[in-house]
Amino acid sequence: MKRFFLALILSLLPVGAWAQCNGVFAAGTVCGTVAGGIPGQVPAATITANPGGSPGQVQFNNTGVFGGLTNTQLTALVNSFSSSLSGSVPASGGGTTNFLRADGSFAVPPGTGGPGNVIGSGSSVVGDLPLLNNTSATALIDSGFNASQIAGLIPSTATVTITNASPGVVTWTAHGLTANAPIYLCTSGTLPTPLAACTPAAGTTAPNTYANNPTLYYVVGSSITANTFTLATTIPNANAGTAINTSSAGSGTHTAFANAMACAGCIGEYIYKDTPLTNGNVTSGANTIYNSLSLTAGIWEVGGSAGLFGAATTVCQDNHVSYGIGISVIATAPSNGSTGFHITSNNSNCYLFTLDSSQIVVPSPGPSTINFVCLPDFTTSTATCYGMAHARRIH
């Protein structure tokens, strides 16, 4: 009988231990033992590695017990992203144009910021194509090329009116021009002051026949409307909005030509001057400057024509022609050009020859004068040297 009660007691011990952890626990308690005591409800904080912190926090080992980290605290413990470390991304500052660079900073890279835009630490102007610096952090270093330097622009012309105002406004119906477009003007009368009109070649009224290259003006981009615009004397002035003020009304019919010549300083800029027949401007056996060009710094391809013309009784024997620039550091070909011919003619019209073109370098700052010189030989009466001088910028 004693053995039976002993077995019964032993069999009930586990059930009694389980029963002590049964039921509803108070908040912040768990079922367990403290220091080998009887199992029961004990404070949660007395158990090693008990979860700590607030709901939603990340658990961490806080000197043997759990603690909680907020998102801000967790982010602060992560490496900052850099060119050598992976980690958290720095704050972007917002916006839609900044992008994360390899060095861990946000910036606007060249070629972004919207269709047709290049954003950098430089500044661009309306109508220009920017130049980029690919050797430093500066993306934009200059406003760069203007639209007039883009191949494929179609020349256009129209009859225009120009106001006597500050600034003078050109009206050209549906002109379709862009900023910095080069313009020159012709007229049957006089242009408003101070605008310069094209100079027709002597002895002809044919259109587009001029004694020399006309004065170029440039469309001010900020002034453009569908039918009007103002003009500036240079591209920098056009970019700055410095338009020409007119001080007279002018007279006659004015004609404007757009994109018919390359802008000053642009590749393809064309300079020319025609010396007409003016009998009696030379002496036999003497060098005479019969034409000249003023060229700004750059590399030019220079050429032209040279002729000798006499009176009715003139006998033309030969004519030597040369052109060049007197700069000591550039004294040999291809910087100087020359040609000569030795033909006898009993006709007073004598002869006209084209000059071979040569490359001439005009160093900075320029400009330099290119002289065309003739050395004629003739007998009887008088004679004149004449012809065209022209230069095209190639660099």
- Provide the CATH number for the domain around residue 363: 2.60.120
- Provide the CATH number for the domain around residue 219: 2.40.30
Tell me what the mean pLDDT of segment 52-66 comes to.
70
Domain that residue 103 falls in: 99-146
Answer yes or no: is 58 within a domain: no
Answer yes or no: is 292 within a domain: yes
Task: Judge if 387 and 294 occupy the same domain.
Answer: yes
Does residue 248 carry a pLDDT above 80?
yes
Answer yes or no: is 10 within a domain: no
Mean pLDDT value across the chain: 76
Task: Judge if 252 and 290 occupy the same domain.
Answer: no
Answer yes or no: is 206 within a domain: yes
What is the reported pTM? 0.61
Answer yes or no: is 173 within a domain: yes
Tokens at 327, concatenated:
């700069």
Domain end among 258, 282, 309: 258
Highest mean pLDDT among 22-36, 208-222, 336-350: 208-222
Task: Judge if 282 and 374 occupy the same domain.
Answer: yes
Answer yes or no: is 235 within a domain: yes
Radius of gyration of the chain, Cα coordinates, nearest whole angstrom: 45
Task: Judge if 287 and 380 occupy the same domain.
Answer: yes
Tell me what the mean pLDDT of segment 291-302 comes to.
90
Task: Judge if 188 and 132 occupy the same domain.
Answer: no
Tell me what the mean pLDDT of segment 346-373 comes to.
81
- Model confidence at 11, in pLDDT bands (50, 70, 90)? very low
Number of domains in the chain: 3
More reliable by pLDDT, 252 or 338: 252
Does residue 101 carry a pLDDT above 80?
no
Q: Quick one: what percent of the chain has pLDDT higher than 70? A: 67
